[in-house]
């Protein structure tokens, strides 16, 4: 049963990190998304919040996405008086997305995803060897 728990834990971790990777990709895709008109707000960066959830059937805690929330940090201001959404001073509000931060978050999520995949592969190998031993 411990091997099945390992598979379930790793699967939950992969699902959570997969969601995180999708949110990061959305953030990166909207790095330059400005508001449609003056006074409107541009794209706001999203962040994934995780939570441990008890899987009652297995009796173990697994990680899950609690919610996808928005980053409430300030927008960047860029001087571009010719832009359609520029304010009266010529500034355009830009998304609060930092490409470097997103890249680091993406790398961390990717490594976590790969680590969970490694656990699944190792568990599968152990199960296969156990079955082979029982056959002999």
Q: What's the pLDDT score for residue 99?
A: 95
User: pTM for the complete prediction?
Assistant: 0.86
Mean pLDDT of 119-134: 92
- HEC string of 19-50 equals HHHHHHHHHHHCCCCCCCCCCCCCCCCEEEEE
* pLDDT, tens digit, 9 for 90 and up, residues 90-119: 999 999 999 999 999 999 999 999 999 999
Cα(105)–Cα(119) distance, integer angstroms: 21
User: Which two structure tokens, joined as six digits, stand for 27?
Assistant: 């953030």
Candidate from 35-39, 70-74, 107-111 with smallest mean pLDDT: 35-39
Q: Residue ranges per domain, the chain?
A: 1-130
Band (1; pLDDT cuts 50, 70, 90) = low
């Amino acid at each position: 049963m411990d091997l099945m728990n390992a598979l379930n834990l790793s699967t939950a971790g992969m699902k959570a990190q997969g969601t995180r990777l999708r949110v990061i990709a959305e953030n990166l895709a909207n790095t330059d998304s400005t508001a449609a008109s003056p006074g409107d707000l541009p794209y706001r960066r999203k962040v994934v919040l995780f939570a441990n959830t008890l899987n009652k059937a297995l009796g173990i805690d697994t990680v899950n996405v609690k919610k996808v929330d928005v980053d409430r940090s300030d927008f960047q201001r860029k001087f571009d008086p010719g832009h359609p959404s520029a304010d009266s001073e010529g500034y355009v509000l830009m998304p609060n997305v930092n490409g470097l931060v997103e890249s680091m978050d993406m790398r961390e999520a990717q490594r976590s995803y790969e680590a969970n995949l490694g656990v699944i592969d190792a568990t599968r190998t152990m199960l296969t060897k156990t079955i082979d031993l029982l056959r002999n």
